[in-house]
Amino acid sequence: MIRLVINGAQGQMGQRLCAVSEAADDIDLVARIGRNNAANAGLNPAADIDLVIDFSSDDGALQAVDLSKKYGAALLVGTTGLSAQTSTTIRSCAQHSPIMIAPNTSRGVALLTHVLQQVAKVLGGASDVDIIESHHAGKRDRPSGTALRLADALRASGAAISDDRIHSIRAGKIIGKHCVYFSGIGEILEFSHTAISRDLFASGALDAGRWLCQQPPGDYDIAEACGLSASVCE
């Protein structure tokens, strides 16, 4: 049984993660921590915690770091738009716990990233590469964390993609769509992933968390949890 704390339980992702966790036979949801601890279910200082999953904010992610350090728990941060300083602080936890920063916890996106790296090795230097990401109107960060990860993976594999070729759309209630185009002479290769439910990310976060709990201290990538090589050269 994995003893789980969800940080950011009041948000859209946090609520779905709570629901999916409660339906899982191998998860004991120890506490839900919301904004200003308003949704705290009563976290016992003496509690045993195996895993902290964070879908909150830049400041909230630092709270998740404190929880991981205090309880020696694995830490998965799904929050996007993290500052460089916060990312560095999270990664410092790898000295004592298994940690993962995963702006997208979809197995499909992990596989897409893996495929795109292979394509970039062949076509990256001979094609114009564009990323178009679409999300709901309320999403604050742009480009999305997933788009930035895709860009990093493409660059690491030989594609010259400048920041101005990463395009963002904020409209309606789009959960998430990412398209990558390789435009060459006489042909265009198009790859896309569309999320149709936030439960995709909730289930993916739990699967990655299950895997993370079995690892020694270190800094891991979502691709490794999906059985693939690490996606991004940090």
DSSP summary character for residue 15: H
**Which residue among the candidates 69, 139, 167, 177 is catalytic per the annotation?**
139
Beta strands 176-183 and 188-195: pairing type? antiparallel
Q: Which of helix, strand or coil describes residue 131?
A: strand
Locus of tokens 């999403």: 139
Say how far apart CA 162 and CA 167 lie, in whole Å.
11
Cα–Cα distance, 160 to 9 (Å, whole number): 39
Tell me, yes or no, if 193 is annotated catalytic.
no
Distance, CA of 114 to CA of 112 (rounded, Å):
5
pLDDT in tens, 81-109: 899 999 999 999 999 999 999 999 999 99
CA angle 155, 221, 167 (to 5 degrees): 40
Q: Please write the tens of the pLDDT for every residue from 107-145.
A: 999 999 999 999 999 998 899 999 999 999 999 899 999
CA dist., res. 227 & res. 55, Å (int): 23
Does the annotation mark 121 as catalytic? no
pLDDT above 80: residue 74: yes
Asked if residue 46 has pLDDT above 70, the reply is no
In the chain the domains, ranked by start, together with CATH numbers, are 2-105+199-225 (3.40.50.720), 107-195 (3.30.360.10)
Contact 201, 11 (CB under 8 A): no
Q: What is the DSSP letter of 186?
A: S
The mean pLDDT of 56-60, rounded to a whole number, is 94
Q: How far does CA 159 lie from the centroid of its chain?
A: 23
Measured in whole angstroms, the distance separating CA 149 from the mean position of its chain's CA atoms is 9
Q: Is 179 exposed, middle or buried (0-12, 13-18, 19+ CB in 10 A)?
A: middle
Query: Full-prediction pTM beyond 0.75?
Result: yes
pLDDT tens readout for residues 152-184: 999 999 998 999 999 999 999 999 999 999 999
- Give buried/exposed letters for 82-118 (b at 16+ CB in 10 A, else e): beeebeeebeebbeebbbbbbbbbbbebbbbbbebbe
